[in-house]
Every structure is written in structure tokens, then in C-alpha cells.
């Protein structure tokens, strides 16, 4: 580890704790500070990972006031992402934040502004975009094996009724659409321009008032900007029975990739006519520095008992965690835009926010801003 390595603070130590040992072992990082509101848990995790007592913070403001912190990696509940990212950038920190970027289109635009004006890096830590399936299909595309892409479809269906904090109850499905839509936009190489979404079904009455969102399922169509492509995404969280699924399908003129129907069923390539091939998706740990390669295949925090529930439900997030940390660190060190930079994150997140808005307006077609042009 060099003394010039960026110093990382992790904010929020539920899911966030998964990243602690990755930064600790990454040759280009110094795992420096941790922050969460509950002091008992703060010290429990601080002790478990040997974080200096003076670098354990219960208040985010104190992390931002620490001049030795270079990067904040935010893993707090969704409603906190927007204002914490803006405050982090304005305090002169590089900001990595778990999904989604924010809960309003205005906050997404403000993060783009703050990143541009401060020159600091921002990345939304979208697990799907560093999953082995995504990396595999990206490679198929780059090698020309799909030919021209003609259509893409994504889904994220999850039952969040048991084991999740109350703030999730009744959450608008498309406000957390990033896993379903991001692979479509990135593989298409185009961001959304227009969205039309319908809500379907109804969740239990007591869940509705929290977010004033009645739908059990939301299903959206996106028209992509400067592209002849459209794509489709489906989300459900409550009162809709289905095994966990985060999926994307890509249809090309030479070959098409379809996600497995159920866990372990096997992904499929359609290779022409009626021919199909079952796919064994490789692991991409070899793209990473050796000390963090092991984290593509196992969770990192308290391996035996206390894995984060999302890690089980999300099938280990496709081995993405070390790739996410690595990409952000390298972007900071190389002074380049990360793969999921602020305008890209804003487009992905706003697509979902506006999809829900469209559903609430009975399927009205809405424009998605071009965040590369935010002033």
C-alpha cells in the first residue's frame, strides 16, 4: 500500500460492510474510516475490521470535515443517497454511492452539477454492471457475436415483505429500477429519451400511504436517445409471488442471450434457426488485482452467519463487489470518468423515477432529461 493511496470512508455498515475487506486488501486503497448512526454497531464493526477508533464516525458531517478522507462510499438507505452524495462532492470528496443515485430527478441533476463543478469523481455502484453475466454479454457484443442489437428486456422481481427494514414497505417499484434497466442502456450504448409505464395490480392497503404507490408491478417501455432501439423492464416488490430474479435479455441479428427462467436453470444463447446453446458464464476475477479476486465468489462480511440478505437473494450480486471497488479506485487514481459516471447514473435512475411517474399518470409518455447537458 502506498502513502498516496486514496483513503476510503464507508458510510452505512449494513450492505456497506461487504466492501470493507475489499478496500482493506486492495493494493491501491487505504480503508480509513467508517460511519453509521448506531455507535454500538459502529464499534462492533470497527473492532472486527481493526479500524482506528478515531476514524469511527457516528455523524456523516464529521467524515466530511475530516481532511484526510478522499473517498466516501455511501451505503445508507435510499432516501439519504441524494443529499449525502451532493454534500460529499461539495465537501471535496470523491463519491461512490450504492443504487439508486437519488429519489428525485432534481437531485440526480444536482449530483451531475456538483461532480462537474468540483471535478470530483462520482459513481453509482450498480452491481449488475459488474456481474459476470453482464461482463460476459458485453464481451459477446464486443466480439460481434450478437451482431446488431435489436431489442433488450430486463426484470427485477423480489419479495421484500420479510426481513427488510420498514422503509421499504410500499416502495414504488420503479424507484429502484436500476438493476433492471442499467444493463439494457449500457449494452445498447444509449441512454433513455422517453418512457411509458403502466402499473398493474395492487399491494396491501397498509403499505400504500407511505409512498402513495399502489401498484404491485410496474412495466415500462423506453425509447433510447439517438438510437433505433427500444427496451422494456418489469419490477415487482410486494404481493407478487416469484423466485428472486434480476435478469436481462438481449436480442441481436446474429445471436441472442436470454437469462435463465429460474435460479440454476442455465442461461441460453440462441444461435440461429431453432438452435440454442446453454451458457456457462465464466468468472472474471482475473481482471482484478490478485488480493481481491477471491471476493467474486464469496461474500466478505462475517462469512458464516451474517451475510447481507441481498447477497443471498441476489445470488452474490454476480461477483460484482470487488469489480465495483476496483473500477472506482482506478477512476480516481487515473483521473478519468468511472464506467458509471454521474450523467450515466442520473439517466439510469431518472428513467425509473419517471417510469413510476408515468404509471401514476396512467401511462403518459414522459421525457427523460439528457444529463450530459445539465447546466
Ligand X SMILES: NC(=O)c1ccc[n+]([C@@H]2O[C@H](COP(=O)([O-])OP(=O)(O)OC[C@H]3O[C@@H](n4cnc5c(N)ncnc54)[C@H](O)[C@@H]3O)[C@@H](O)[C@H]2O)c1
Q: Using CB under 6 A, list all residues that contact ligand X.
A: 11-15, 35-38, 60, 75-78, 80, 98-99, 127, 165, 310, 314, 317
Q: Distance between CA atoms of 114 and 86, rounded to whole angstroms? A: 6
Closer to ligand X at the Cβ: 88 or 192? 88
Least spacing, CB of residue 292 vs ligand X, in Å: 18
CB of 339 to ligand X, least distance (A): 15
In angstroms, what is the minimal distance from the CB of 40 to ligand X? Answer: 11
Shortest reach from residue 143's CB to ligand X, in Å: 27
CB of 71 to ligand X, least distance (A): 16
Give the integer Cα–Cα distance in Å for 169 and 162.
10
Residue least distant from ligand X (Cβ): 14
Instruction: Report helix, strand or coil for 322.
Output: helix
Instruction: Return the closest-CA partner of residue 340 out of 325, 357, 354.
Output: 325
Q: Which is nearer to ligand X, 14 or 299 (CB)?
A: 14
Nearer to ligand X, 110 or 246 (CB): 246
Residue located via cell numbers 416502495? 171
CB of 317 to ligand X, least distance (A): 5
Nearest to 32 by CA among 71, 4, 58: 71
Report the phi/psi class of residue 73: left, alpha or beta, with left for phi > 0 and alpha for psi in -120 to 50: beta
Q: Kindly list the strands in the beta sheet with 7-11, ordered across the sheet, starting from the edge strand earlier in the chain.
A: 56-57, 30-35, 7-11, 71-74, 94-97, 122-124
Map grid coordinates 421499504 to a residue.
Answer: 168
Name the residue nearer to ligand X (CB basis): 35 or 269.
35
State the distance between the two ends of the chain, measured CA to CA, in whole angstroms: 39
* Residue 311 C-beta: closest distance to ligand X, Å: 8
C-beta of 83 vs 254, nearer to ligand X: 83
Pick between residue 98 and residue 157 the one whose CB is nearest to ligand X: 98
Residue 18 or 30: which CB sits closer to ligand X? 18
> Concatenated DSSP letters for 266-315?
-EEEEEETTEEEEE-PPP-GGGS-GGGGGGGTS--SSTTT---HHHHHTG
Q: State the minimum distance, in angstroms, from the CB of residue 243 to ligand X.
A: 17
Burial (0-12, 13-18, 19+ Cβ within 10 Å), 253: exposed
Residue 35 vs 237, nearer CB to ligand X: 35
**To the nearest whole angstrom, how small is the minimum distance from the Cβ of residue 9 to ligand X?**
10
Residue pointed to by grid coordinates 443504487? 99
Q: Which residues of 109-133 are buried (b: 16+ CB within 10 A; e: fewer)?
A: bbbbbbbeebebbbbbbbbbbbbbb
Nearer to ligand X among residue 38 and residue 243 (C-beta): 38
Closest to 348 in 3D by CA, of 137, 192, 196: 192
Amino acid at each position: 500500500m502506498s502513502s498516496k493511496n486514496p483513503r476510503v470512508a464507508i458510510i452505512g455498515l449494513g450492505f456497506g460492510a461487504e466492501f470493507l475487506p475489499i478496500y482493506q486488501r486492495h493494493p491501491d486503497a487505504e480503508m480509513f474510516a467508517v460511519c453509521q448512526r448506531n455507535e454500538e454497531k459502529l464499534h462492533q464493526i470497527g473492532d472486527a475490521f481493526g479500524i482506528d477508533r478515531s476514524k469511527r464516525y457516528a455523524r456523516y458531517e464529521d467524515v466530511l470535515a475530516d481532511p484526510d478522507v478522499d473517498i466516501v462510499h455511501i451505503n445508507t438507505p435510499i432516501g439519504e443517497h441524494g443529499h449525502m452524495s451532493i454534500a460529499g462532492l461539495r465537501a471535496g470528496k470523491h463519491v461512490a454511492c450504492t443504487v439508486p443515485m437519488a429519489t428525485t430527478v432534481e437531485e440526480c441533476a444536482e449530483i451531475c452539477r456538483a461532480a462537474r463543478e468540483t471535478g470530483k469523481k462520482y459513481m453509482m455502484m450498480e452491481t449488475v454492471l459488474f456481474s459476470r453475466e453482464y461482463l460476459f454479454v458485453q464481451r459477446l457484443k464486443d466480439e460481434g457475436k450478437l451482431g446488431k442489437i435489436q431489442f433488450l428486456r430486463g426484470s427485477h422481481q423480489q419479495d421484500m415483505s420479510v426481513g427488510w427494514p420498514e422503509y421499504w414497505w410500499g416502495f414504488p417499484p420503479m424507484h429502484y429500477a436500476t438493476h433492471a434497466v442499467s444493463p439494457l442502456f449500457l449494452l445498447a450504448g444509449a441512454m433513455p429519451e422517453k418512457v411509458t409505464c403502466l402499473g398493474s395490480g395492487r399491494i396491501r392497503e397498509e403499505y400504500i400511504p407511505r409512498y402513495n404507490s399502489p401498484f404491485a408491478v410496474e412495466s415500462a417501455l423506453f425509447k433510447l436517445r439517438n438510437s433505433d432501439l427500444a427496451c422494456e423492464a418489469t419490477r415487482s416488490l410486494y404481493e407478487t409471488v416469484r423466485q428472486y430474479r434480476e435478469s436481462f435479455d438481449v436480442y441481436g441479428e446474429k445471436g441472442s442471450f436470454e437469462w435463465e427462467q429460474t435460479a440454476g436453470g442455465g442461461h441460453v444463447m440462441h444461435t440461429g434457426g431453432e438452435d440454442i446453446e446453454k451458457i456457462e458464464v465464466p468468472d472474471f476475477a482475473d481482471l482484478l488485482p490478485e488480493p481481491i479476486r477471491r471476493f467474486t465468489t464469496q461474500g466478505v462480511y462475517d462469512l458464516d452467519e451474517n451475510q447481507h440478505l441481498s447477497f443471498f437473494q441476489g445470488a452474490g450480486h454476480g461477483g460484482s463487489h470487488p469489480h465495483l471497488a476496483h473500477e472506482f479506485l482506478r477512476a480516481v487514481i487515473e483521473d478519468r470518468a468511472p464506467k458509471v459516471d454521474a450523467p450515466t447514473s442520473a439517466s439510469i435512475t431518472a428513467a425509473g423515477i419517471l417510469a413510476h411517474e408515468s404509471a401514476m399518470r396512467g401511462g403518459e409518455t414522459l421525457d427523460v432529461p439528457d444529463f450530459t447537458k445539465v447546466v
